[in-house]
Amino acid sequence: MYKVAFLPGDGIGQDLKEVVKLFRDKIEEKYGFSFELNELPIGGKAIDSFGDPLPPDTLKECKKSDAVFLIAVGGPKWDNNPPNLRPEAGLLKLRKSLNVFCNIRPIKLSKHLTHLSCLKCETVDKGLDIIILRELTEGLYFGEPRGIYTQPDGSKVAINTMSYSSTTIEKFAKIGFDLAMSRKKSLTSVDKANVLENSRLWREVVENLSKSYPEVKLDHLYVDNAALQMIYNPNQFDVIITENLFGDILSDEAAALVGSLGLLPSASIGDNKPFLYEPVHGSAPSIAGKNMANPIATIFSIALMLRLSFERNDIAFDLENAVEKTLEMGIGTADLKMKNTIGTREFANEVLKNL
């Protein structure tokens, strides 16, 4: 039986935890396919119990598992902690330790949610289906030196370092080219090469690699223009590759195109398993504990895990269809502004009935 390291984390992570268990049970009952959920502490809850946002045992268990499933970490309670005692530090260490350098964030607009998009109906009427690949293990998030330093005159200076290796850029971009080949053969690389050395190296590596993919139409865009083009005409994109921080920002922007951050799943892959699965959203403190969180990002992340770690595309496909059928019924959590608003548990149960 597959073993999944299960890290519900903080805030709505705790509300969505039950949803994952319900789906695991239903998948076992309907398809005879089972995976074990080994629940482990991470984030704020782990800081409170173990004084560490990623306790060594959690990391050890994750590395021994077939896949890692995380929901969300963070919250105001820990916002003033020192950097290494913040929930987010646990998540970043996990990503780095698993070396999952390619974060796949599919952005798909359901035809039942066009009313929710921040764009005009005529822009999204034809639908929207793009994939953002975000590099996840280098860049400003991990570069050294970093820190806040006091100068001799008593003033302070804060330093973060953006660093990228050509090896990582190449491995990452290759996944983008391969994905583009399996879709519309169109790839947009987003950088800031007019200003940053990091981006100049990025562009050089991507350009060189493109020679091995003559069929792929490659475009380069500066990140500021990419943010603009995403709103003007998102359908000009198919696969986007970009570095860590740009990808973080562009994917939240893309959530507004499809209506809610509660809809976006992600998979983070590397050279070796286990891969890491997590919704794009965070712990949403203002709705935590209220049975209001949208479970779709979590359900779609389960689908990605079934597809990419367990080779069960059939079940993944059925899960995605069950969500579509449920939305077609005009029901959804509060963020979806449907005819009928229901809670997290109730919505998850409706999806299960449609599976």
The footprint of ligand IPM (CB under 6 A) covers 74, 88, 91-92, 248, 280, 282
Closest to 47 measured CA to CA, from 16, 79, 4: 79
Three-class secondary structure of residue 354 per DSSP? coil
Q: Is 105 annotated as a binding residue?
A: yes
Question: In which element (H, E) is residue 229 found?
Answer: helix 223-232
Q: Does 100 bind ligand NAD (CB under 6 A)?
A: no
Give whichever of 92 and 308 is closer to ligand IPM, judged by the CB atom.
92
What's the CA gap between 31 and 162, in Å, rounded? 46
* One residue of 15, 61, 135, 248 binding Mg ion per CB under 5 A: 248
Write out the two tokens for 188: 């947009």
* Of 293, 338, 342, 351, the one binding ligand NAD by CB under 6 A: 293
Rounded CA-CA distance 43/86 in Å is 7
- Give me the phi and psi of 267, to 5 degrees please: -130, 135
In the sheet with 102-108, reading across from the earlier edge strand, the strands are 35-39, 2-9, 67-72, 275-277, 267-269, 102-108, 129-135, 239-242, 186-191, 217-222
Task: Give CA–CA dist 166/201, Å, rounded.
Answer: 7
| Closest distance to Mg ion from the beta carbon of 249 (Å) | 8
Coil vs helix vs strand at 279? coil
Kindly name the residue from 15, 52, 248, 335 that is annotated as catalytic.
248
Angle at 325 between CA 321 and CA 327, to 5 degrees: 115
Whether 248 is a known active-site residue: answer: yes
Q: Does 52 bind Mg ion (CB under 5 A)?
A: no
Least distance in Å: CB of 42 to ligand NAD?
A: 9
Judged by CB under 6 A, does residue 135 bind ligand NAD?
A: no
**Active-site pick, 15, 192, 213, 335:** 192
Binding of ligand NAD by 72 (CB under 6 A): yes
Shortest spacing between CB 87 and ligand NAD, in angstroms: 6
Residue 10 beta carbon to ligand NAD: minimum distance, rounded to whole angstroms = 8
d(CA 108, CA 64): 32
- Is 141 a residue of the active site? yes
Is 76 annotated in a binding site? The answer is yes
From 66, 129, 238, 252, active-site residue:
252
55 labeled part of a ligand binding site: no
* 262 interacts with, out of Mg ion, ligand IPM, ligand NAD, none, CB within 5 to 8 A per kind: ligand NAD
- Residue type at position 336: L
Residue whose C-alpha is closest to residue 281's, from 305, 252, 250: 252
| Distance in Å, CB of 51 to ligand IPM, minimum | 20
- Between residues 80 and 194, which has the closer beta carbon with respect to ligand NAD? 80
Q: How far is the CB of 241 from ligand IPM (least distance, A)?
A: 16
Kindly report each contact of residues 122-128 with a partner whose C-beta sits within 8 Å and lies 24 or more positions away, as own/partner. Answer: 123/233, 123/234, 123/235, 124/234, 124/257, 126/235, 128/234, 128/235, 128/257, 128/258
Q: Does 294 bind ligand NAD (CB under 6 A)?
A: yes
Nearer to ligand NAD by Cβ, of 101 and 202: the residue is 101
Q: Side chain identity at 126, as an amino acid letter?
A: K
Tell whether 66 is in a known binding site: no
Considering beta carbons, is residue 61 or 243 the nearer one to Mg ion?
243
**Annotated binding-site positions:** 75-88, 95, 105, 134, 224, 248, 252
**Annotated binding-site positions for NAD(+):** 75-88
Question: Site residues (CB under 6 A) for ligand NAD?
Answer: 12, 72-75, 88, 91, 260-262, 278, 281-287, 293-294, 297, 335
Question: Site residues (CB under 5 A) for Mg ion?
Answer: 248
Residue positions annotated with a catalytic role = 141, 192, 224, 248, 252
**Annotated binding-site positions for Mg(2+):** 224, 248, 252
